[in-house]
């Protein structure tokens, strides 16, 4: 038997519930509009928690023509009927565009017979902040709409990276674009460690994590990459995300990170699972937020289907509780400066113009002990420039300069530098 409604849309309710009547009047107009478009028993459905994490992506799909919709009406004549904004979150950007919005518009999705709007309710005593309203003919219909759009979003993000940054007003999406492809062969790392990492990531996303089901282990994993700057942590992460069929989310922790943003980020990523969450410079997590972050990592539901990759240049700053408890970060991998074999291999790969003889490559590999991958790039660049103009690479001189910089960095002593440093 269909449940009855004790206070339906009727003018008589103003006598008993005058404040509610103000809200009901707006609701009744919306129901009438929906019934004219598609007759049926329309009802309100609460999807507040879900829509706050999904609505920006819904707008993207609407703008890109991936999600069919109609604007049935505007709600209030005295409220905005359109929106113009920057093409990015950079407020100083001069690139403007007409943006889709749910504010003051009744948006109807014909495939699912679901409608959304964002509006304030004006009452005789006060008015509320704009809130999302969802209308459907059944709660099952609204549920299917969210399920389908969520899967559509996941497929869209398969070949893209989403960047989330914690801002003062909440989590903001800074960038949304195609990921740079980095081959796994471009990763300069000891072969055993490299194989271990890639096996772990491949099994996680193969056949929906069938390996984890077969062996009865929780379908979640976390690895921490640590080591001095410039040795390829970012390259390794890019090779993982660029060669894995899964949505990828980068999360930038800032001084504005708080319990709300932590929950929102994990809510967004969990919606995309199985997915990859990359947390670069994880040591920058504010001290007062560490317990909240650890508790979130411990949560079974928030981690289900997530492969989390954390990176840091300063492992000594990492809370030991992150590494010493399985289920948070299961493994920690050091990404060290390359050994002689890797340095020689990398220098040979860089030398596409065959500037150096095999003996010189071998000598450079010996002399560059302690230099990072990025410093080897600089060594080749500066040597190639000198060779191009002078006919001599002077690689020994370049190596000495780089090693001198390393010593100054270790000692934090730049006062005695005999050459200026540009920024």
Residue 151 lies in a domain: no
The pTM assigned to this predicted structure is: 0.74
Shared domain check, 119 and 45: yes
What are 285's two structure tokens? 């997590």
Residue 172 and residue 166: Cα distance in Å, rounded?
6
Q: In terms of domains, do 181 and 326 share one? A: yes
Strand order in the sheet with 70-74: 43-45, 131-136, 114-119, 105-109, 70-74
Mapping DSSP to helix (H, G, I), strand (E, B) and coil, where does residue 242 land?
Answer: helix
347 and 328 in one domain?
Answer: no
Domain C-terminal end among 113, 137, 161:
137
User: Is 419 part of a structural domain of the chain?
Assistant: no
* Same domain? 327 vs 182: yes
Q: Kindly state whether residues 95 and 233 are assigned to the same domain.
A: no
Contacts of 18 (CB under 8 A, 6+ apart): 124
Can you tell me the distance from the alpha carbon of 333 to that of 202, in angstroms, rounded to the nearest whole number? 17
Report if residue 145 sits inside a domain: no
pLDDT of residue 419: 42
For 262, residues 6+ apart whose C-beta sits below 8 A from its C-beta are 289, 292, 293, 296
Residues 6+ apart with CB under 8 A from 254: 165, 166, 167, 284
d(CA 121, CA 23): 6
pLDDT(405) > 90: no
pLDDT for 414 beyond 50: no
CATH assignment of the domain containing 237: 3.40.50.300
Are 293 and 345 members of one domain?
no
Q: What is the mean pLDDT of residues 329-355?
A: 90
Q: Do 284 and 320 have their domain in common? A: yes
The answer to whether residue 407 is domain-embedded is: yes
pLDDT for 41 beyond 70 = yes
403 and 282 within one domain = no
Mean pLDDT of 63-71: 92
Is 60 exceeded by the pLDDT of residue 216?
A: yes
Which of 309, 334, 359 delimits the end of a domain? 334
In angstroms, rounded to a whole number, what is the distance separating the alpha carbons of residues 376 and 108?
Answer: 57
**344 and 329, same structural domain?**
no
pLDDT at site 325: 63
Q: Which of 90, 119, 137 is the last residue of a domain?
A: 137
Predicted pLDDT at 235: 85
Give the total number of structural domains in the chain: 3
Is 211 contained in some domain? yes
State the CB neighbour count (10 A cutoff) for residue 155: 11
Q: How many CB atoms lie within 10 A of CB 183?
A: 11
Q: Is residue 162 part of a domain?
A: no
Dihedral (Cα; 152, 153, 155, 161), 10-degree rounding: 170
255-307 pLDDT per residue, tens: 889 988 898 888 888 888 899 999 988 888 888 888 888 888 877 556 889 99
Q: Identify whether 146 is part of a domain.
A: no
Residue 143: inside a domain: no
Q: What is the pLDDT of residue 385?
A: 93
Q: Residue 358's CB: how many other CB atoms inside 10 A?
A: 10
- Identify which has the larger pLDDT, 314 or 255: 255
pLDDT at 398 over 80: yes
User: With the C-alpha atoms ordered 82, 83, 84, 87, is the resulting torsion angle positive or negative?
Assistant: negative
Residues 242, 388 within the same domain:
no
Of 192, 158, 197, 161, give the one whose Cα is nearest residue 176: 161
Is residue 369 domain-shared with residue 322, that is, in the same domain?
A: no
Q: Does the pLDDT at position 401 exceed 50?
A: yes
123: CB partners within 8 A, 6+ apart: 19, 22, 23
Are 102 and 73 contacting, i.e. CB atoms less than 8 angstroms apart? no
Residue 257 belongs to domain spanning: 170-334
Higher pLDDT, 327 or 95: 95
Cα dihedral sign, 396-397-400-401: negative
In terms of domains, do 100 and 210 share one?
no
Strand intervals (E) in 179-316: 221-226, 248-252, 275-279, 306-312
Task: Name the band, by pLDDT with cuts 50, 70 and 90, for residue 381.
Answer: very high
Calculate mean pLDDT across residues 158-162.
Answer: 74
**pLDDT range class, residue 368, cuts 50, 70, 90:** very high
Percent of the chain at pLDDT above 70? 88
């Amino acid at each position: 038997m269909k449940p009855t409604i004790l206070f339906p849309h009727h003018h008589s309710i103003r006598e008993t519930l005058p404040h509610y009547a103000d809200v009901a009047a707006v609701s009744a107009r919306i129901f009438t509009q929906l019934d004219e478009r598609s007759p049926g028993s329309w009802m309100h459905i609460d999807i507040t928690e879900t829509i706050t994490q999904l609505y920006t992506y819904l707008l993207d799909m609407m703008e890109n023509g991936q999600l069919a919709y109609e604007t049935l009406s505007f709600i209030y004549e005295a409220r905005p009927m359109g929106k113009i904004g920057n093409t990015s979150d950079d407020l100083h950007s001069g690139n403007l565009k007409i943006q889709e919005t749910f504010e003051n518009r009744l948006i109807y999705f014909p495939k699912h017979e679901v409608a959304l709007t964002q509006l304030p309710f004006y009452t005789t005593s006060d008015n509320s902040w704009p809130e999302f309203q969802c209308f459907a003919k059944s709660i099952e219909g609204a549920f299917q709409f969210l399920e389908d759009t969520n899967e559509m979003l996941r497929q869209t993000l398969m070949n893209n990276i989403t960047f989330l940054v914690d801002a003062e007003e909440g989590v903001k999406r800074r960038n949304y674009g195609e990921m740079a492809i980095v081959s796994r062969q471009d990763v300069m790392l000891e072969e055993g460690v490299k194989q271990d990492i890639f096996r772990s990531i491949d099994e996680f996303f193969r056949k929906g994590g069938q390996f984890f089901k077969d062996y009865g282990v929780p379908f979640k994993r976390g690895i921490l990459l640590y080591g001095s700057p410039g040795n390829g942590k970012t390259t390794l992460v890019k090779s993982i995300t660029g060669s894995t069929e899964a949505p990828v989310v980068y999360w930038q922790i800032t001084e504005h990170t708080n319990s709300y943003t932590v929950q929102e980020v994990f809510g967004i990523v969990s919606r995309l699972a199985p997915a990859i969450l990359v947390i670069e410079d994880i040591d920058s997590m504010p001290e007062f937020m560490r317990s909240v972050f650890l508790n979130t990592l411990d949560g079974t539901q928030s981690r289900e289907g997530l492969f989390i990759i954390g990176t840091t240049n300063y492992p000594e700053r990492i809370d030991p509780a992150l590494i010493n408890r399985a289920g948070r970060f299961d493994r920690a991998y050091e990404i060290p400066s390359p050994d002689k074999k890797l340095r020689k291999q990398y220098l040979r790969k860089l030398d596409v113009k065959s500037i150096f003889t095999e003996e010189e490559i071998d000598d450079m590999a010996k002399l560059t002990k302690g230099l990072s991958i990025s410093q080897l790039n600089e060594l080749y660049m500066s040597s190639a420039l000198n060779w191009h103009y002078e006919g001599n690479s002077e690689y020994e001189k370049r190596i000495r300069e780089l090693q001198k910089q390393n010593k100054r960095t270790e000692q934090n002593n730049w006062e005695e530098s005999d050459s200026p440093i540009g920024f």
